Each structure stands twice: as structure tokens, then as C-alpha cells.
């Protein structure tokens, strides 16, 4: 486009249809933070002197180089590349700002910007932006609390890079309201099956919800259910749908994000989820809906695992998890979403392994399969080994216990065969010390709490993160209620656990720089030992001290804040630090896997761009703050 054309630099209020142009721009900004938190009237004021400017690919966005920028810009369309003075590069896409930090801090920009594609920028004069920032808390917070905002920017940057291949449009955080936009087909329980099927056919859908007069979900009937009826030749096809429906189906709230629906479908092995709002039917989300957002891989993998006939098939299926991880990263997935879904897939693999093995040799009694460590917390990454145990729910003879240990050993070996290495420390269900009755587990916890020896404290870091992954959950949950009460009431144990947690040190030296160690010719930081473990250990200790029942690290911080045990802003900062480091670890493992390298936690700092280096330093400083809190609360 010609540089002198009117489209090159057009005041938004002077566009041919000024009202519509302003309305469109306000609508655009309203979809992107921090503008999304601002009233429309204030956005209109902010845009009073704004211009929509076109930059062809390759053209520089050229603010003053020796003074604060005269304008801040928001990418309206296209992609802008940034180059820092230190030589690092990054990208800024639609809805993101550039030059705002320099304008807010009253200094010249330290970065150079160039249009990577034909782009349109909304250019807002700096005086207008600064006036808005003084009045509008969202803008002020965005400029002053950049650490958390930068984490989102970093995630978006990684997402855009992967998007070059995937070209996806929606986020894993998209609320289901945006998908389940059509009313669910519904009928009463006394509707004949034939009529319900006719309604489904007329609507071109694969399910119908059975509800009562208050639109409460009673059940669901699907084409899969119909095929089962026809295959059995059942007379029920002529009866009421309420007699053959799946009663009390799993439902999900309308405000829940897409990733929760995908994970729930994978876990429950269903293709449809009724969506409810305040207990009443709101809509329905299907596997097809998720597939359009490239979320179908999760459901597909989970279903494939549930049908695998042997460990060879399961190993092949699990290899696709790397592709799913990359796809989720492209959709802007957070570390919590990535690790949570990987954990669910691994749980599905575990359930199938147990089913295959116990079909040949049944358990001698009812059991609960426990997972410890990252799997127990729902924080598994691509690089993980086994940490598990077994609860025997009946008293067994020596022969029965030997049989249980034998089956557990076969399961451990099968898990190793499909890609989950045997634990070098023998923290596995085939270890007699971890294959115990409920009473034996109760006694073991009591000894651990009453006598916090170094070994017992090490045991505590494992067992307090236990989660039942297979078998009845309630007996273990009831036991853990007792254990948490005992632990919180024993100040000696809590203090010992805190001092044990403080043995993990953040990878930050006294000058505030990231502390590295040498591996071959690289200077690396161990993300697990130098950042994640100190956070996990501190969260565990505080959860024990305040009798919080959450197991996941982020959930523990949120629960502690809700209980007013810690400041909500502190909780948010520590969650952000944990999430950022965890995401870097996921990206590192992804790159190592794609390169055919052994996955570890050693990150070469030279591979980080300046933005991520800055966030890593801030995250490690937050780890230091967390440990100082722990040290003050539980002095030696």
C-alpha cells in the first residue's frame, strides 16, 4: 500500500463511518487485557486522538530514539517483531501493546520494532495513555505489575511460534459458553425412545438430554446407546427413554474452560457433556466441538488407551502425547493445563495396564492404587518415572499379600514397558513397605508424624502428596483427614518439615543473578532443584500447617489464601512463579524429545530470550521470598 495513502494513518474518529469505526475499535480492545477491564466510555476517551496506521511487511515502527515515545501502539492486525538492545527478539500480536512501558516510565524505548507481516496498529498518543493509566487501575496495574503480565506475554509468544504451523484460533481458556451456543435437545423421561430418536434425527445431533420441569438434568441418551439397544434386539426401544438413558450423567458448568471439558471427556470416556448454569441445563458440548478447537487429540488418545490390547500398542499411543503437548502449547496452554492433562492421560494408561493384568490374575482383595510425587499432585511433565503404592482394603494371609505384590510387580514392569521407568529409589507398589493395609498406612503416618527423623521427613515429602488413581477413593480420603489433623496439631513435625523444605535453595546468587552450573560446555540451571522443588516443598509445608486438603501445588496456594493463611497477592505471585518455571521445563522437555535427547531439567540460559531471562530472575526472587516467609514462621 502506498505510504502516503489515507489508510496509512487515519484518525479513528475521522474514518468514513466514524461511529462504527470507533465502536469496532472499542469492541476489539474490550477483548484484550488490560483494556478488557475498562468501561467502554473510558475506552472511547482513550481513543479520542488515536490513529489506525498501516505498516507494510518490513517497515519499522520508528518512535523517537532519544526521548520517551510519542505514542503507544496496540496491534490491531498482523504481527510486529521486536529486537532488544541486547540482541534478543520477540513478537507482538493482535491485542498486545508495544512502547507502553517506555512511555509509562518516561524513557526512550530499548527495543526496535518491525512489521513481520502487513499490519495495522492503533497508535494512542502517550499523554492520553498516561492520563488513562493514572485513572484506570487495570492500565496502572499492567504497567506497574509487569511480572505477571510478562508471564502471559511469554506464554503467548511461545504460542504464536507454534501457531505458525497449527493456525488455531481459540484458547484452552475459552469458556464453554462460547462453544455450547445452541440449546441442547431435551425431552422428558416418559418420551418414547422412538420419538427421542426422531427428534435427534430431525435436529442432526447425536444426543438428547432428559430433563424435568425445572430443566435439571436427569439423564442423557445418545446414538451410541441406540446402537446398543438395536444390537441387543431389546424391546426397550419401544418404551420410555427414561428407562434406557444414562442416568445422572457427568455435567460441567457453563463458565468452565474448554480444557476442563476435554479432560473430563477423556477421563469419563464420553462424547457429550451437558452444560449447566446454576444447576439448570444451559447447553451441551460434544467431542466434535472440541475437535474443531484441535482438542480432539486428548479424547482420542484417552479412548485409544482404553482400547489398547497390549503394552506395545500403549507405548505407540503414548508417543503421541508429545504432539498433543506441542499442540496445546500452540493454543496458549498454561503449565497447569499441560501437566494436568498429561497426568490424566497417564492415569488412563495406568487404568488400562491394571485392567489388562488383573484380567489374567485378579487382585486377592479390593485395592487402591496410589500415585505419589508429580503424578500425585497432578503435575506430571513429559519426563517422569514411577512413584506409586498400594492400599489393601481387606486383611490378607501371607499368601494373599504375596499375590498382591506379584501383581503390583507386573503392573510396575508393564508401566516401565510403555514408557514410565521404574523408580530407582524403589518407591513402587511392588515394594512391601508401600503395599500395606489401611491400618498399616495409618500406623506408618503416625510414626512419621510423632518422630520426624530425616528418613521420616523424606517419607513425608512423598506420602503427603499421595493421590488415589485407581480403586475406591473414599477410604484413603477419610484416612488423610485424620493424618492432616494429626500433622497440623504436631508443631514439632511441622517445624521439622519446614526446615527440611528450606534445604532446597533457589538458583539465585547474592547479586540477584541466576546461579548456574557447568554441564559439558554449557552453563545451565536445574529448573527442578533450583526453583520447582523449593516451591513445592514450601507449599506442602504450609498446607500441612494449616490443614489444607489440596495436593496440587497451585491449589495449595489458592486454598491457603482462601483460608487467610497467606496473603492473596503473595499466593498469586508464587503461583505465577511456579507456573512460569514449570512451563519452561515443559518446553525444554518438548525440545529434547523432538531432538531425540534424554529429557532432563537442565536449562541452558543462552536459549532464553531476554524477556524470559528477566521473568526467570523474578520467579527465583519470588522463591526466595517464599522461603523467607517459611523461615520466619518456623525458625530453627
* Grid cell 525458625 in the structure block, residue: 635
**Which of 84-88, 198-202, 477-481 reaches the highest mean pLDDT?**
477-481
Q: Which three cell numbers stand for residue 484?
A: 492432616
> pLDDT, tens digit, for every residue of 108-139?
888 889 998 888 899 999 999 999 998 888 78
Q: How confident is the model at residue 246 (pLDDT cuts 50, 70, 90)?
A: very high
Percent of the chain with pLDDT over 70: 86
CA dihedral 153, 157, 378, 175 (to 10 degrees): 70
CA distance 580 to 382: 16
Q: How confident is the model at residue 336 (pLDDT cuts 50, 70, 90)?
A: confident
Confidence at residue 368, expressed as pLDDT on a 0 to 100 scale: 97
Q: CATH for 176-290?
A: 3.10.580.10
Three-state DSSP state, 281: strand
Confidence at residue 187, expressed as pLDDT on a 0 to 100 scale: 94
CA distance 458 to 374: 15
Percent of the chain with pLDDT over 90: 48
CA distance 5 to 74: 21
| Beta-carbon contacts of residue 108 (< 8 Å; ≥ 6 apart) | 64, 65, 66, 67, 68, 69, 102
CA distance 131 to 480: 54
> pLDDT, tens digit, for every residue of 486-519?
999 999 999 999 999 999 999 988 767 789 988 8
Q: Where are the alpha helices (DSSP H) in 378-453?
A: 398-417, 438-450
Where in the chain are the domains?
Answer: 6-144, 176-290, 497-633
Residue from 219, 209, 276 nearest 246 by CA: 219
> pLDDT, tens digit, for every residue of 132-172?
998 888 788 777 655 455 555 555 555 444 443 333 334 55
Ranking 146-160, 263-277, 389-403, 542-556 by mean pLDDT, the lowest is 146-160
* Angle made by CA atoms 158, 533, 161, in degrees to the nearest 5: 5
| Beta-carbon contacts of residue 4 (< 8 Å; ≥ 6 apart) | none
CA distance 96 to 340: 28
CA distance 630 to 499: 8
Residue 182 pLDDT greater than 60, yes or no: no
Q: How many C-beta atoms lie closer than 10 Å to residue 112's C-beta?
A: 16
Residue from 139, 141, 123, 110 nearest 75 by CA: 123
CA distance 356 to 353: 5
Q: CATH for 497-633?
A: 1.20.120
Q: Provide the sign of the torsion angle of the four alpha carbons 422, 423, 429, 433, taken in this order.
A: positive
Order of strands, sheet of 60-61, starting from the edge strand that comes earlier in the sequence: 60-61, 111-115, 80-84, 89-92
* Angle made by CA atoms 520, 595, 318, in degrees to the nearest 5: 125
* Strand 89-92 to 80-84 pairing: antiparallel
pLDDT average, residue stretch 43-47:
92
The angle, 0 to 180 degrees and rounded to 10, between the axes of the packed helices 568-594 and 335-360 is: 60
Q: Which three cell numbers stand for residue 337?
A: 493445563
DSSP per-residue letters across 145-205 = -HHHHHHHHHHHHHHHHHHHHH-----TT-BGGGT--SPPPEE-TTSBHHHHHHHHHHHT-
Confidence at residue 140, expressed as pLDDT on a 0 to 100 scale: 80
CA distance 578 to 509: 19
Confidence at residue 157, expressed as pLDDT on a 0 to 100 scale: 52
CA distance 489 to 479: 16
What's the distance, Cα to Cα, between the start and end of the chain in Å?
Answer: 69
Confidence at residue 238, expressed as pLDDT on a 0 to 100 scale: 80
Superfamily (CATH) of domain 6-144:
Jelly Rolls (2.60.120.10)
pLDDT average, residue stretch 36-49:
89
Q: How confident is the model at residue 10 (pLDDT cuts 50, 70, 90)?
A: low
* Strand 207-211 to 217-222 pairing: antiparallel
Distances (CA, A) of 269 to 249, 378, 416: 12, 19, 24
Q: Which three cell numbers stand for residue 216?
A: 435439571
Amino acid at each position: 500500500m502506498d505510504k502516503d495513502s489515507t489508510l496509512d494513518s487515519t484518525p479513528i474518529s475521522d474514518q468514513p463511518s466514524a461511529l462504527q469505526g470507533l465502536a469496532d475499535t472499542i469492541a476489539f480492545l474490550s477483548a484484550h487485557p488490560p483494556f478488557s477491564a475498562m468501561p467502554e466510555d473510558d475506552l472511547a476517551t482513550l481513543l479520542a486522538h488515536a490513529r489506525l496506521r498501516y505498516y507494510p511487511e518490513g517497515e519499522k515502527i520508528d518512535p523517537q530514539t532519544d526521548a520517551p515515545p510519542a505514542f503507544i501502539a496496540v496491534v490491531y492486525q498482523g504481527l510486529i517483531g521486536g529486537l532488544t538492545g541486547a540482541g534478543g527478539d520477540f513478537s507482538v500480536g493482535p491485542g498486545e501493546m508495544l512502547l507502553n512501558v517506555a512511555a509509562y516510565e518516561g524513557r526512550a524505548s530499548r527495543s526496535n520494532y518491525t512489521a513481520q507481516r502487513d499490519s495495522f496498529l492503533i497508535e494512542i498518543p502517550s499523554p492520553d495513555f498516561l492520563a488513562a493509566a493514572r485513572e484506570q487501575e487495570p492500565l496502572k496495574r499492567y504497567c506497574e505489575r509487569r511480572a505477571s503480565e510478562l508471564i502471559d506475554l511469554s506464554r503467548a509468544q511461545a504460542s504464536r511460534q507454534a501457531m505458525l504451523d497449527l493456525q488455531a484460533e481459540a484458547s484452552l481458556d475459552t469458556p464453554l459458553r462460547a462453544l455450547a451456543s445452541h440449546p441442547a435437545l431435551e425431552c422428558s423421561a416418559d418420551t418414547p425412545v422412538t420419538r427421542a430418536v426422531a427428534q435427534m434425527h430431525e435436529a442432526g445431533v447425536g444426543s438428547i438430554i432428559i430433563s424435568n420441569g425445572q430443566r435439571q438434568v436427569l439423564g442423557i441418551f445418545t446414538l451410541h446407546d441406540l446402537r446398543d439397544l438395536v444390537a441387543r434386539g431389546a424391546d426397550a426401544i419401544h418404551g420410555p427413554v427414561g428407562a434406557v438413558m444414562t442416568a445422572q450423567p457427568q455435567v460441567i458448568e457453563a463458565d468452565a474452560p474448554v480444557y476442563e471439558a476435554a479432560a473430563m471427556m477423556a477421563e469419563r470416556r464420553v462424547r457429550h457433556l451437558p452444560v449447566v448454569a446454576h444447576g439448570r441445563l444451559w447447553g451441551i458440548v460434544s467431542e466434535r466441538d472440541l475437535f474443531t478447537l484441535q482438542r480432539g487429540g486428548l479424547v482420542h488418545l484417552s479412548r485409544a488407551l482404553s482400547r489398547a490390547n497390549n503394552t506395545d500398542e500403549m507405548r505407540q499411543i503414548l508417543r503421541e502425547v508429545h504432539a498433543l503437548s506441542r499442540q496445546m502449547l500452540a493454543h496458549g496452554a498454561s503449565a497447569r493445563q499441560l501437566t494436568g492433562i498429561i497426568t490424566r492421560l497417564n492415569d488412563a494408561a495406568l487404568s488400562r495396564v491394571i485392567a489388562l493384568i488383573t484380567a489374567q490374575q485378579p487382585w486377592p482383595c479390593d485395592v487402591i492404587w496410589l500415585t505419589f510425587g508429580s503424578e500425585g499432585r497432578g503435575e506430571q511433565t513429559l519426563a517422569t518415572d514411577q512413584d506409586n503404592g498400594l492400599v489393601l482394603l481387606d486383611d490378607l494371609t501371607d499368601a494373599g499379600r504375596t499375590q498382591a505384590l506379584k501383581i503390583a510387580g507386573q503392573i510396575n514392569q508393564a508401566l516401565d514397558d510403555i514408557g514410565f521407568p521404574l523408580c530407582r529409589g524403589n518407591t513402587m507398589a511392588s515394594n512391601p513397605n508401600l503395599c500395606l493395609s489401611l491400618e498399616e498406612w495409618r500406623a506408618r503416618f503416625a510414626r512419621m508424624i510423632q518422630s520426624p527423623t530425616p528418613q521420616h521427613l523424606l517419607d513425608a515429602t512423598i506420602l503427603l502428596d499421595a493421590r488415589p488413581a485407581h480403586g475406591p477413593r473414599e477410604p484413603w480420603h477419610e484416612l488423610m483427614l485424620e493424618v492432616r489433623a494429626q500433622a497440623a496439631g504436631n508443631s514439632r513435625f511441622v517445624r521439622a518439615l519446614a526446615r527440611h523444605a528450606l534445604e532446597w535453595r533457589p538458583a539465585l546468587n547474592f547479586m540477584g543473578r541466576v546461579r548456574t552450573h557447568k554441564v559439558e560446555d554449557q552453563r545451565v540451571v536445574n529448573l527442578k532443584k533450583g526453583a520447582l522443588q523449593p516451591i513445592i516443598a514450601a507449599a506442602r509445608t504450609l498446607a500441612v500447617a494449616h490443614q489444607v486438603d489440596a495436593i496440587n501445588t497451585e491449589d495449595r496456594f489458592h486454598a491457603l489464601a482462601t483460608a487467610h493463611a497467606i496473603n492473596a497477592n503473595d499466593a498469586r505471585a508464587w503461583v505465577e512463579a511456579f507456573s512460569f518455571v514449570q512451563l519452561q521445563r515443559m518446553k525444554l522437555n518438548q525440545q529434547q524429545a523432538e531432538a531425540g535427547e534424554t529429557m532432563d531439567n537442565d536449562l541452558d540460559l543462552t536459549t532464553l530470550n531476554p524477556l524470559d531471562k528477566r521473568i526467570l530472575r523474578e520467579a527465583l526472587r519470588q522463591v526466595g521470598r517464599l522461603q523467607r516467609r517459611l523461615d520466619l514462621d518456623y525458625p530453627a
